[in-house]
Amino acid sequence: MTQTSLNQGITYAVYSDGHKGAEQIFPFDLFPRIIPAPDWEKLEKGLIQRNLALSLFIKDVYSERKILKDKIAPPALIFPSHHYSEEMRSIRPKHDIYCHICGTDLIRHSDGNYYVLEDNLRSPSGVSYVLSNRDAIKRTLANAFRWSSVRSVSEYPAELLATLQSVGPKSEERPSVAVLTPGPYNSAYYEHSFLAHRMGVELVEGRDLFVENNFVYMRTIHGPRRIDVLYRRIDDAFLDPLVFRPDSMLGVAGIMGAYRAGNITIVNAPGTGVADDKAVCSYVPAMIRYYLGEEPVIPNVPTYLCEREEDLKYVLEHMKDLVVKPVDMSGGYGVVICDRLSKAELEEVKQTILHDPRNYIAQPRMALSVHSTYIENKGAFEPRHIDLRTFTLMGKDRPYVLPGGLSRVALKEGSLIVNSSQGGGSKDTWVTV
Amino acid sequence: MTDYVIEYRTLTEYEKPVKQGAYEFLIMPCENETQKVKHFRLLHSMRREPFTARNKYGFLTHHFHIHTEPFEYFSLNLLAQVAKNPPPLDVFSNLSAAEENAVLGGIEFQMDQQSFLQVTPLCFLGPGDFPAEVLRLEGENVGSYLLRLNASIHRLLQYVPGITDAGTQAKTALEMGKGVCQDYAHVMIGILRPQGIPARYVSGYLNLSDDRSDSQLHAWVEALIPQVGWRGFDPANHLQENDHFIKIAHGRDYLDCQPIKGVLTTEGAHKTSYEVLVRNSMDYNWFLQEQQQQQQQQ
Amino acid sequence: MLARIANTLYWMGRYLERTEHVARYLRVQYFTTQDAPISQSREFVLHSIVNMAGIPWEEQAPLEEAEVLYRASLDPGNPMSIFSTIANARENARGMRNVLSSELWEVINKYYHFVNNYPVEYFKTKGLYDFTIAAGEHCSLIRGYVDSTLTHDEVWALIRLGIHLERTAQIARIISCKLYDIFILTEGKENMPAENYQYTVLLKLLESFDMNRNHYKAPPDREKALEFLILNIDFPRSMAFNLRQVQYFLRKLGIKDKSAHSVGFKVGRMCSQYQYLLFSEIDANVGEFVADALNKVYEIHDALEKDYFHA
């Protein structure tokens, strides 16, 4: 399997010290994870519910702030966040959709239930692996399985394109769509190029775009072509050097003005990161009750917010049973699994938390589900921890959840961190019909 | 009503040709209850006309996005005739200090005004950075406090042109005891916001009554007084906003009100000069004359 | 097609084509000195190479053979070397992998690794022939994959546009260099055998010797060599042929001949001129003619970059 992947060039460059952007293969394990149809039906319902509540929450934060005025969530949760965007105070995205693409991470507890670990609302990645994994497994195991009994994932690019087209700035026209990438040196460039290619849309870099009269254009050999919907895979801070980081070479000067004028749709909307924060995540069940008047279908992993005094006290007293995470980092960076630490290291973590409690949460070291995984250097199947990255799309009146998702495996024995950037691997995920 | 003619001139010369550039100007006087732009003219050295956009607080910006013809200099002149009515000077509400506090402390109020209550890095001040007497006293009305604070800040800093720059923080200016209008404004904001009084940074043009010409844009502060509304204070001159103040825009701090922002591709250095002129058009009707001349030429 | 992508593909074609001509020039110039009818000094040949490959060399410094060959071929420090050029081509291809066939990418990559891994010491002592022949073969292989594994669409047309524009320029440069060599050699005096030999070398520098003989059925001389390389419309290493190809690929890309300053107009004008030109008309000042043609090719390139690639 490793050989197939290498030739196809499915890679994931890792940010770490040493030489930047080294291409690393994302290991793929053949043994699939199977989710029975009834389980999936419930998850699908829960993920859409969650996405709706999150979009309503983000809209509320940037407009009336009812949830804060009604004291359901504390303002201290929102405004100090790096991802809060003052720009969005004066912008209403088309159809009030903020998180068109959401990657929610689930785990399955030893009690058999699924819990939400976190939501990724900025640029969730990994969907290209789901599609490539499926292609690879079909090739390899063509005869061993009856494909009619597993739900297909291949319609994802078409669904994504339809989602993007449904939120075009002028409803009556078919909008032109492009994918904005930071370029080939980005760790997820493969995915950017994969998605653009499968959707049949242009893959652009910031330098291909310019703004004139509050419209966004790309430079082609036949002159400027207008872009209506931009699926951007760069962070907010890099979007517009006139508004955010002035040193950004990746963005487009003036794009926020075009967005405010209603001439382009940016996907996901800037400022959605405010709900992506791990501390905010713990309020999602409350949001679901508040905005939708429903009970959450999928519960959260219990989360202790260190900024709350009683939670902080609990965290400091029960460090050994907990996993501590910074609220605003992704990719598994900064995660501390406390029972692995020496006394001195524990003390250090405690001091770090006390220095800036707002920045940390803790979660019980929930027994992540374990699953048989083929371990290459041992030549045997062994149990490994896995989680599930799901992909939810929200266009105008068209919610969609990719059946299955990316099961990520911690390949190191006993490791709990499954992120590809931290040496995790992946598995195909089968939802039965 | 007073009529002003405002001129904003800038010239930037580049050592090497600029291949691509995007500029955003925030220099046009805004329109509100007390001021109206009667005419304006924008002259510049670029081959294409600018387009306008709105910034996040709704203020008008002019954009030049150049990506075809390289250029070696960029000059821009804004000439605007503005009619200004005296803004209200009343700062006293009919509320008691306790009632004012109830308004300021309300979650509705705080959430609606959050943009101008959140401290930014440029105006951050710690409790030890300023003398305690500049804080609001118990029982002191917001209006009286603002007048007192305006005077205190005027005394705290000495006006020294060129001593600070666009990135100077309120804390640094206070430590030096020196600064320009922008620093006075940041200090005042840094003191007001943590006390729950919404304050915003204002950029604009100031007509100086004497013959002195202020060659820079001016900066002052607007604070929100319960029941009364937003009122302007100029701690640099120890004035309340009056009909000599012509506002361009407001924001959280200087960064939201930068008159020129540019992103460009060039290799060499550059040199920029600015000039700001404010004239009472009753005294100087050259503006009209010039306009007539221009029409004749056309 | 995005202007940036177009520019990258076009340059990929140009870079690939360029390496082949530089490699061949090194080999032919170097090895024809071995059996020349009149002795060509080493110094003379090295000067010619320095000239053609655009190697920066101090005016008065003596030319050291191994060093000249190294700088022209494997030197990563020389932006004009074969190594730097193929590295650029590969870098361009790397960013374009989603529009190229993987087979094409692989042969480009293979060429790069061949040059990158070529042992420098071996090259300096005995590898020149082997290296330059292989470079030419890699280029042919790549062109084969360009034509046989890509859809003949805009991507393909842009690579081919780059190849033919570069080839036109390289033919002109090689003719210019050789005319200069001949001028130096003969010092203005009549020396038919030496001169005719140099025209044979010129044809070999462009792998045109055999086809020239087939065409004229007579040994080459000045007129036959230059007419063939400049004006022959059917021979793929003539300027006229390649200009027509450039015109063909511009049309394929939908780049129309409109105003007098347009790329299409410039190319079209050159093509028509070459089609109805007699060698006798340019015979007297062929050096100027070729130099002027080279300038026009560079103008075409500039207009392309400015109007279509926005580079």
Domain ranges of chain A: 2-14+23-301+367-431, 304-364
CA distance A357 to chain B (A): 19
Residue A204 to residue C95, Cβ atoms within 8 A:
no
- Out of A184, A197, A219, the one facing C310 most closely (by C-beta) is A219
Q: Is residue B191 a part of any domain in this protein?
A: yes
**Residue type for position A45:** K
Task: Give the model's pLDDT for residue A111.
Answer: 79
Q: Cα separation of C119 and C127, whole Å?
A: 9
Class of domain A304-364: alpha beta
Cβ neighbors of B59 (< 8 A, separation 6 or more) are: B26, B30, B248, B249, B250
Query: Which bin fits A271, alpha (ψ -120 to 50), beta or left (φ > 0)?
Result: left
Which of A421-425, B281-285, C128-132 is predicted most confidently? C128-132
Distance CA C289, CA C270 (A): 12
Quick one: pLDDT at residue A140?
74
pLDDT at position C255: 82
Q: Are residues B182 and B101 in the same domain?
A: yes
DSSP annotation string for C9-52: HHHHHHHHHHHHHHHHHHHHHHHHTTT-SSPPPHHHHHHHHHHH
| Claim: this prediction has a pTM higher than 0.80 | yes
The pLDDT confidence band at residue A422, using thresholds 50, 70 and 90, is low
- Show Cβ contacts of residue C274 under 8 Å, excluding neighbours closer than 6 positions: C230, C231, C233, C239, C240, C243
d(CA A114, CA A50): 14
In this structure, of A350-364, C52-66, C238-252, the range with the lowest mean pLDDT score is C52-66
Same domain, B161 and B74: no
Could you say which DSSP state residue B137 is in? Answer: P
Which residue in C153, C134, C170, C150 sits closest to C93, CA to CA? C150
User: Per-residue pLDDT for A11 more than 70?
Assistant: no
- Over pLDDT 90: what percentage of chain C? 71
CB atoms within 10 A of CB A282: 24
Question: Do B14 and B142 share a domain, yes or no?
Answer: no
Quote the CA–CA distance of A381 and A67 in Å, as a whole number: 49
Q: What is the pLDDT of residue A17?
A: 36
Q: What pLDDT sits at residue C63?
A: 80
Q: Which of B238, B247, B246, B236 is nearest to B280 (CA)?
A: B246
The minimum CA-CA distance between A72 and chain B, rounded to whole Å, is: 12
Sheet with A322-326, side-by-side order of all strands:
A304-305, A360-364, A322-326, A336-337
Whether the bond between B285 and the residue before it is cis, its omega within 30 degrees of 0, is no
Please name the residue of chain C whose CA is at the shortest distance from the CA of residue A204. C2
Q: Is B251 found in the same domain as B167?
A: yes
Average of pLDDT values for B35-50? 92
Dist. CA C137–CA C115, nearest whole Å: 12
Cα–Cα distance, B234 to B263 (Å, whole number): 32
Instruction: Tell me which amino acid residue A354 is.
Output: L
Number of domains in chain B: 2
Report the C-alpha gap between A151 and A137 in whole angstroms.
14
d(CA B115, CA B198): 8
**Which residue bears the tokens 């410039």?**
C266
Query: Which of these ranges, A17-26, A311-320, A421-430, C217-226, has the smallest mean pLDDT?
Result: A17-26
Structure tokens at A45: 């319902």
Residue A23: its pLDDT value, please? 45
Question: What is the Cα–Cα distance from C69 to C87, expressed in whole angstroms?
Answer: 18
Q: What is the DSSP letter of A393?
A: E
Mutate one of B48, B110, B111 to test the A interface: name it (highest A CB count within 10 A): B111
Cα B6-B10-B14 angle, rounded to 5 deg: 175
Query: To the nearest whole percent, how much of chain B has pLDDT over 70?
Result: 92
Decide: C49 and C81 in contact? Cβ < 8 Å. no
Contact in structure between B20 and B94 (CB atoms under 8 Å): no
Question: Is B134 a member of any domain?
Answer: yes
How many Å is the Cα radius of gyration of chain A?
A: 21
Q: What are phi and psi of C216, to 5 degrees?
A: -95, -15
Any chains having at least 3 CB pairs less than 8 A from chain C are A
Amino acid found at B272: T
pLDDT of C146 above 80: yes
What would the DSSP string read from start to end of B44-98?
A: ES-SS--EEEE-TTS-EEEEEEE-SS-EEEEEEEEEEEEEEPPPP-----SS-HH
Which residues form the domain of B157? 97-255
Query: Residue B79: is its pLDDT beyond 70?
Result: yes
Express as a percent the part of chain A with pLDDT over 70.
Answer: 83
Q: Output phi, psi for B15, to 5 deg.
A: -65, -45
- B10: domain CATH number is 2.60.40.2250
What would the mean pLDDT of B112-118 be, rounded to a whole number? 96
The mean predicted confidence, pLDDT, of chain A is 84
> Would the pLDDT of B245 be above 80?
yes
Count how many Cα atoms sit within 13 Å of the Cα of residue C28 in the half-sphere of its side chain.
Answer: 24
**Chain A residue numbers touching C96 (CB-CB < 8 A):** none
**Residue C56, SS3?**
coil
Greater confidence (B265 vs B183) lies with: B183
Q: Which of B56, B111, B263 sits opposite A90 (nearest CB)?
A: B56
Distance between CA B144 and CA B138 in Å, rounded?
12
C157 vs A contacts (CB less than 8 Å): none
Give dist(CA A46, CA A72) in Å, integer: 21
What ipTM is given for this predicted complex?
0.90
Is residue B91 in some structural domain? no
Q: Which residues of A touch C98 (CB under 8 A)?
A: 193, 196-197, 203
Closest by CA position to B215, among listed B282, B274, B135, B154: B274
Write down the mean pLDDT value for chain C: 90
Residue A367, pLDDT > 60, answer no
> Are C277 and C297 spatial neighbours (Cβ–Cβ below 8 Å)?
no
Structure tokens at C253: 């890309």
pLDDT surpassing 70 at residue A412 = no
User: What integer pLDDT is reported at residue C197 of this predicted model?
Assistant: 86
Chain A stretch 211-240, residues whose beta carbon is closer than 8 A to a beta carbon of chain B: 211-214
Instruction: Answer whether A86 touches B (CB < 8 Å).
Output: yes
In the predicted model, is pLDDT for residue A179 greater than 70?
A: yes
B→A interface, C-beta within 8 Å:
22, 24, 51, 53-58, 61, 63, 65, 67, 107-108, 110-112, 114-115, 118, 252, 261, 263
How far apart CA B258 and CA A246 sit, in angstroms, is 13
> With an 8 Å Cβ cutoff, are A260 and B51 in contact?
no
Separation between Cα atoms, residue C20 and residue C25, nearest integer Å: 9
Partners of C1 on chain A (C-beta within 8 Å) are 220-222
Nearest chain A Cα distance for residue C299, angstroms: 18
Is the pLDDT at A12 greater than 70, yes or no?
no
Nearest to A27 by CA among A419, A413, A429, A330: A419
Q: Residue A283 has what pLDDT?
A: 92
Q: Are residues B221 and B273 in the same domain?
A: no
On the 0-12 / 13-18 / 19+ scale of CB atoms within 10 A, A359 is: buried
In this structure, of A13-17, C117-121, C159-163, the range with the lowest mean pLDDT score is A13-17
Confidence grade of residue A147 (pLDDT, cut at 50, 70, 90): low
> Is the same domain home to B141 and B275?
no
**B201 and B126 housed in the same domain:** yes
Question: What residues contact B147, with CB distance under 8 A and at least 6 apart?
Answer: B91, B233, B240
Question: Are B117 and B74 contained in the same domain?
Answer: no
Query: Are B27 and B117 in the same domain?
Result: no
Residue A9's pLDDT is 42
* pLDDT of C139 over the 60 cut: yes
What is the pLDDT at residue C183?
A: 85
Q: Are C167 and C121 in contact (CB under 8 A)?
A: no
On chain A, the residues whose CB falls within 8 A of the CB of C311 are none
Do B76 and B157 reside in the same domain of the chain? no
Task: Give the pLDDT confidence of A261-277 residue by residue, as tens digits.
Answer: 999 999 999 999 999 88
Residue in chain A lying closest to B26 (CA): A242
- CATH number of the domain residue B190 falls in: 3.10.620.30
Cα separation of C252 and C4, whole Å? 18
Q: Are residues B120 and B181 in the same domain?
A: yes
Determine the pLDDT at residue A22.
41
Instruction: Give the alpha-carbon dihedral of C220, C224, C226, C227, to 10 degrees.
Output: -160
Segment of A140-154, A240-254, C237-251 carrying the highest mean pLDDT: C237-251
Query: What tens digit of pLDDT does each residue of A200-212 get?
Result: 999 999 999 999 9
Q: What is the tens place of the pLDDT at every residue in C107-138? A: 999 999 999 999 999 998 889 999 999 999 99
- Is B200:B222 a contact under the CB 8 Å cutoff? yes
Largest Cα separation within chain C, whole Å, is 58
What mean pLDDT comes out for the span A12-29? 47
Q: B264 with A242: CB under 8 angstroms?
A: no
CB contact at 8 A, A208 and C2: yes
CA distance A219 to chain C (A): 6
- Helical spans, DSSP H, in A217-342: 255-260, 278-281, 284-287, 309-317
Shared domain for B123 and B230, answered yes or no, is: yes
Provide the Cα torsion C100, A12, A252, B29; round to 10°. Answer: 170
Contacts of B282 (CB under 8 A, 6+ apart): B2, B3
SS3 per residue for A101-126? EEEEEEEECCCCCEEEEEEECCCCCC
Give the pLDDT score at C188: 61
- Residue A298 identity: I
Q: pLDDT category, A18, cuts 50, 70, 90? A: very low
Residue B204, helix vs strand vs coil: strand
Report the C-alpha gap between B93 and A332 in whole angstroms: 53
- How far apart are the C-alpha atoms of B110 and A75, rounded to whole Å? 10
Classify the C-alpha dihedral C90-C92-C93-C94 as positive or negative. Answer: positive
Residue of B63, B113, B116 to mutate, interface with A, max A Cβ within 10 Å: B63
